[in-house]
């Protein structure tokens, strides 16, 4: 397929581009990026994207696609349908499937299933410990040979510090990142942030210290080993401060946060809406302010979705019984564009946290618009307003606290490997 995209504002943080250009795609590659490209032929699809923005495809370093084992929550097919609608062309799926992705057989299954049914690139993340039990290391070497791109016990912290140390040594050997879920399970038996809202609701709490002490522990172990560490879904002011300080002395620390953590506060849980139940929990106004400052000063390198789809029955129960998680792939980018509208980040700075920085973390040859590179890109408009309707989600997970919200900014077209995989009605 040949595609000529005309008159778009190209924003590419990797190459420091922000100007009106055309992009010519031949097969799966970007062949030319220039002004006023003229290519002739009946086999060329021309798309006029005047007044819209062309950017590299987004990379999500943290999502749950649920397959194998929890196909009633999500499948690789439906998860990647949601991803490309949201502007993501690459997704890293966490290991807490059933069976757990702690061996090469599960890794190979995910890769093959993604190739046959996925609409975007899917890279599996292998479990650090067998069964996510923090008792014995997984077969990290075998999983690496099979195709994992990172290791993580996400959903749980690695409680055994010696096991984490050994895992970091393996990750250093294979040059893959360790993605750390920072939570002391003995301090986090509750459901919501410990603060004013929890006093009003009476719900059991998860205090900020439960995250912050593991943030500090994991950074210390990584520095001792000399291995990179990536701290995921950071949610507290104390974590941001600790990471900011640690980065000054050790350069192999990166971290991400998620849109719901800089969009909502713990006050959203006062209505006992289980779609606001996430782990870590929604935090205070002060934490939200700190996260935005951390994004602005680059303490926080990446924005991830932590896409966690669930079937209705696991959310349509009492708050304390409901499962944790938000279905986030279809709203993440639009919510993050609020950072641009508020003046926290420029468009180029925001896109860097969705493209260049994730690609660097994972050592992927994506996240840029360069002739000779694979054609993964999106076309979006930061000013189009739309109303979130969970019933229109392509994900099986309809669990979102943003149903009915009016958002500003929308992905309109997604191209993966030179193929159009999502097209908004504006281009039909």
DSSP labels, 48-61? E-TTSEEEEPEEEE
Confirm if 229 and 168 have CB atoms less than 8 A apart.
yes
**Whole-number Å distance between alpha carbons of 153 and 130:** 9
Place of tokens 């097919």: 77
CA nearest 369: which of 20, 33, 113? 33
Token look-up 């990471």 returns 243
Strand partners, 90: 59, 121
- Look-up of token digits 């994900």: 395
- Helices 209-225 and 237-249, packing angle to 10 deg: 10
Asked if the peptide bond before residue 68 counts as cis, ω within 30 degrees of 0, the response is: yes
- Which among 306, 376, 417, 424 is annotated as catalytic? 306
Distance from C-alpha of 390 to C-alpha of 85, rounded to nearest angstrom = 13
Question: CB of 23 within 8 A of CB of 10?
Answer: yes
For 91, the enclosing helix (H) or strand (E) is: strand 88-93
Torsions phi, psi for 348 (to 5 deg)? -65, -40
* 21: Cα separation from own chain's centroid: 28
Do 151 and 125 meet the contact criterion of CB atoms below 8 Å apart?
yes
- 169: number of CA atoms within 13 Å, CB side? 9
In the chain, how many H helices and how many E strands? 13, 18
Rg of the chain in Å (alpha carbons) = 21
The size of the chain, in residues, is 428
Distance (Å, rounded) from C-alpha 42 to C-alpha 27?
15
Q: How many degrees, rounded to 5, is the angle at CA 65 between CA 325 and CA 330?
A: 65
Q: Where are the alpha helices (DSSP H) in 118-158?
A: 140-146
**Residue 306 annotated among the catalytic residues of the structure:** yes
Could you give the residue numbers annotated as active site? 306
């Amino acid at each position: 397929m040949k595609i000529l995209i005309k008159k778009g504002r190209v924003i590419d943080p990797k190459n420091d581009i922000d100007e009106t250009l055309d992009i010519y795609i031949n097969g799966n590659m970007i062949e030319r990026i220039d002004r006023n490209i003229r290519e002739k032929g009946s086999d060329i699809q021309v798309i006029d994207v005047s007044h819209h923005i062309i950017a590299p495809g987004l990379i999500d370093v943290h999502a749950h696609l649920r397959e194998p084992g929890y196909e009633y929550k999500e499948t690789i097919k439906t998860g990647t349908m949601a991803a490309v609608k949201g502007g993501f062309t690459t997704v890293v799926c966490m290991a807490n499937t059933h069976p757990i992705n702690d061996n090469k057989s599960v890794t190979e299954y995910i890769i093959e299933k993604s190739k046959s049914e996925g609409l975007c690139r899917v890279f599996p993340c292998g479990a650090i410990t067998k069964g996510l039990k923090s008792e014995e290391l997984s077969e990290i070497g075998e999983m690496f040979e099979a195709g994992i791109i990172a290791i993580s016990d996400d959903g749980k912290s690695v409680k055994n510090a010696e096991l984490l140390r050994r895992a970091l040594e393996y990750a250093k050997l294979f040059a893959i990142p360790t993605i750390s879920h920072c939570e002391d399970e003995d301090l986090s038996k509750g459901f919501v942030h410990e603060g004013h809202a929890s006093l009003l609701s009476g719900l059991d709490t998860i205090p900020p210290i439960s995250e912050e002490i593991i943030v500090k522990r994991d950074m210390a172990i990584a520095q001792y080993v000399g291995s990179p560490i990536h701290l995921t879904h950071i949610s507290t002011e104390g974590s941001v401060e600790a990471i900011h300080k640690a980065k000054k002395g050790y350069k192999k620390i990166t971290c991400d946060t998620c849109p719901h953590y800089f969009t909502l506060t713990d006050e959203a849980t006062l209505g006992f809406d289980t779609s606001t139940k996430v782990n870590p929990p929604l935090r205070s106004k002060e934490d939200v302010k700190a996260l935005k400052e951390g994004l602005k000063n680059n303490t926080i390198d990446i924005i991830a979705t932590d896409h966690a789809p669930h079937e209705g029955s696991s959310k349509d129960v009492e708050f304390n019984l409901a499962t944790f998680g938000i279905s986030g792939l279809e709203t993440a980018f639009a919510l993050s564009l609020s950072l641009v509208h508020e003046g926290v980040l420029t468009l180029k700075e925001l896109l860097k946290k969705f493209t260049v920085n994730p690609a660097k973390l994972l050592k992927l040859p994506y996240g840029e618009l360069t002739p000779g590179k694979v054609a993964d890109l999106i076309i979006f408009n930061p000013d189009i307003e739309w109303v979130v309707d969970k019933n229109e989600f392509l994900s099986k997970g309809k669990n979102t606290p943003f149903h009915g919200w009016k958002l500003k900014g929308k992905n309109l077209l997604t191209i993966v490997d030179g193929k159009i995989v999502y097209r908004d009605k504006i281009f039909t």
